[in-house]
């Protein structure tokens, strides 16, 4: 049995020991996975045969498709991202997150990929996959903004629908396509499900059950009236003017290529919302809009400055979260310094589950019941401009 890599904070509670040990075993397993990938790369370099994936699939008792993916990842890490492979072998990250780095750097040169790798590895350990993907898109766009568009086009060329059975008489259907179209599709399913619930058509079904039934009804032939869905695209002023190719931001997804953002923003049904950001940092200063009546100003500002739930590892969009008081009202005030977005699960965890939130130097820090600390720093939604950049003309 492999030895766990146990790392406990000094002020950890006794109940944290089994959790830290479990995490230690996971990290030890990552080490083994790293060495396994290294050996697969050696095998691929020596063989290079058409049917290598079948050999690996049989040996590891996985599908040929999964085996090919492992072989491709092994070769990519060994030849293009040696520091990432070393991090996996050291137990710093798992192979799934390593595959995210490999995918994001695919359109880059070896030199550019090394720059991205060096920057992301400094902070990868505490990043769940979705946050890692968003951070990678931001770094890749800064290193080579054209690569983001190239990767988008490549992925769009690979769009598909997958259907596979589960063991319980059910199946899973996944649609891979444009992030904007998927957001609209998911929003429509959600809107219809809420409409059914609010008009007494739920028949005892939960919201998850309603969403599943609505999605299948839409695809299998049951008609619904069109539900209006609004997708927000933030388009940096300099990209809108064609001055540069600074990426845009799609709410609920993250950075998108500049041209993709321009195309979305100027569609006839697009929602234009002006978000004023500080050029030096890319963080939100103020929110305005050209269309639609705004909701409460405070909610609008908080949702823009903190785009997701502040809970550890959570990426639920702020628009779908509760506005939680760090210090309970009325002791704590209702303002931007004390209110933050929290999904219902994290909100309930703080209220009833023993989680605590403190604020240090303007940064929220969640403390688990076992004493683990998880600081939350919201990502900027636009790219900081270089100090010598010319200011963009106002709209």
Beta pairing class for 271-272 and 232-234: parallel
How far, in Å, CA of 363 to CA of 375, rounded? 7
If 0-12 CB within 10 Å is exposed, 13-18 middle and 19+ buried, where does residue 50 land? Answer: exposed
- pLDDT for 293 equals 30
The token duo for 64 is 């040929």
Helices (H) and strands (E) in the chain, counts: 14, 13
How far, in Å, CA of 306 to CA of 320, rounded? 12
Residues in contact with 20: Cβ distance below 8 Å, sequence separation at least 6, in sequence order: 6, 7, 8, 12
How far, in Å, CA of 380 to CA of 198, rounded? 36
- pLDDT for 291 equals 34
How far, in Å, CA of 59 to CA of 53, rounded? 10
CA atoms within 13 A of residue 128's CA, in its CB half-sphere: 9
- DSSP string across 13-30: -TTHHHHHHHHHHHHHHH
Angle between helices 82-89 and 64-79 (to 10 degrees): 110
The token duo for 351 is 């209220």
- pLDDT for 50 equals 82
For residue 71, report the phi and psi dihedrals to the nearest 5 degrees: -65, -45
| 395 residues of the chain, pLDDT tens digit each | 567 777 777 778 888 888 889 989 999 999 999 999 999 999 999 987 888 998 899 899 888 889 999 999 999 999 999 999 999 999 999 999 999 999 999 989 999 999 999 999 998 988 999 999 989 988 998 899 888 888 888 889 999 998 887 766 778 999 999 988 898 899 999 999 999 999 998 999 999 999 999 998 888 766 554 444 455 666 666 666 566 777 777 766 677 787 777 776 656 554 445 454 555 556 555 554 433 333 456 787 888 888 889 988 888 888 888 888 888 766 777 777 888 999 888 988 898 888 999 998 888 999 988 888 889 887 766 666 666 656 555 55
How far, in Å, CA of 375 to CA of 312, rounded? 8
Of 172, 210, 216, nearest to 191 by C-alpha is 210
User: Which residue do the tokens 């303002």 mark?
Assistant: 335
Question: In whole angstroms, how far apart are CA 208 and each of 28, 112, 189, 212, 316?
Answer: 36, 42, 11, 6, 16
Of 287, 282, 340, 284, nearest to 316 by C-alpha is 340
The token duo for 115 is 């720059």
The token duo for 239 is 């990209």
The token duo for 229 is 């869905």
- Would you give the DSSP letter of residue 340? E
- Would you give the DSSP letter of residue 299? H
Q: How many residues does the structure list for the chain?
A: 395
How far, in Å, CA of 331 to CA of 338, rounded? 10
If 0-12 CB within 10 Å is exposed, 13-18 middle and 19+ buried, where does residue 343 land? Answer: buried
CA atoms within 13 A of residue 85's CA, in its CB half-sphere: 19
């Amino acid at each position: 049995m492999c030895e766990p890599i146990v790392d406990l904070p000094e002020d950890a509670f006794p109940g944290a020991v089994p959790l830290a040990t479990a995490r230690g075993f996971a990290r030890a397993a990552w080490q083994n996975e790293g060495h396994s990938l290294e050996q697969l790369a050696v095998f691929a370099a020596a063989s290079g045969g058409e049917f290598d994936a079948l050999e690996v699939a049989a040996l590891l008792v996985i599908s040929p498709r999964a085996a090919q993916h492992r072989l491709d990842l092994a070769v990519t890490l060994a030849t293009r991202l040696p520091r990432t492979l070393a991090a996996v072998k050291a137990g710093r990250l798992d192979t799934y997150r390593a595959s995210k780095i490999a995918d994001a750097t695919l359109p880059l040169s070896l030199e550019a990929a090394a720059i991205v790798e060096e920057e992301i590895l400094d902070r990868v350990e505490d990043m769940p996959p979705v946050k890692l993907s968003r951070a990678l898109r931001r770094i890749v766009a800064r290193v080579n903004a054209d690569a983001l568009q190239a990767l988008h086009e490549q992925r769009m060329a690979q769009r598909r629908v997958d259907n596979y059975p589960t063991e319980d008489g059910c199946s899973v259907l996944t649609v891979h396509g444009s992030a904007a179209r998927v957001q609209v599709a998911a929003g429509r399913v959600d809107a219809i499900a809420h409409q059914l619930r609010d008009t007494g058509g739920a028949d005892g079904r939960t919201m998850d059950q309603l969403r599943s039934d609505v999605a299948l009804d839409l695809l299998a032939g049951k008609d619904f009236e069109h539900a209006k869905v609004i997708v927000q695209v933030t388009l940096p002023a300099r990209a809108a003017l064609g001055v540069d190719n600074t990426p845009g931001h799609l709410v609920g997804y993250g950075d998108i290529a500049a041209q993709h953002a321009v195309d979305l923003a100027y569609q006839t049904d697009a929602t234009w919302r002006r978000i004023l950001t500080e050029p030096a940092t890319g963080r939100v200063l103020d929110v305005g809009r050209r269309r639609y009546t705004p909701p409460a100003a405070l909610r609008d500002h908080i949702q823009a400055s903190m785009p997701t739930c502040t809970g550890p590892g959570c990426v639920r969009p702020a628009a779908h979260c509760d506005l939680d008081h760090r210090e309970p009202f009325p002791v704590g005030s209702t303002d931007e310094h004390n209110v933050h977005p929290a999904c219902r699960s994290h909100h309930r965890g703080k209220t009833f589950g023993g989680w605590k939130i403190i604020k240090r130097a303007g940064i929220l820090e969640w403390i688990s019941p076992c004493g683990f600390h998880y600081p939350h720093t919201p990502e900027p939604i636009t790219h900081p401009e270089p100090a010598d950049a010319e200011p963009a003309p106002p709209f």
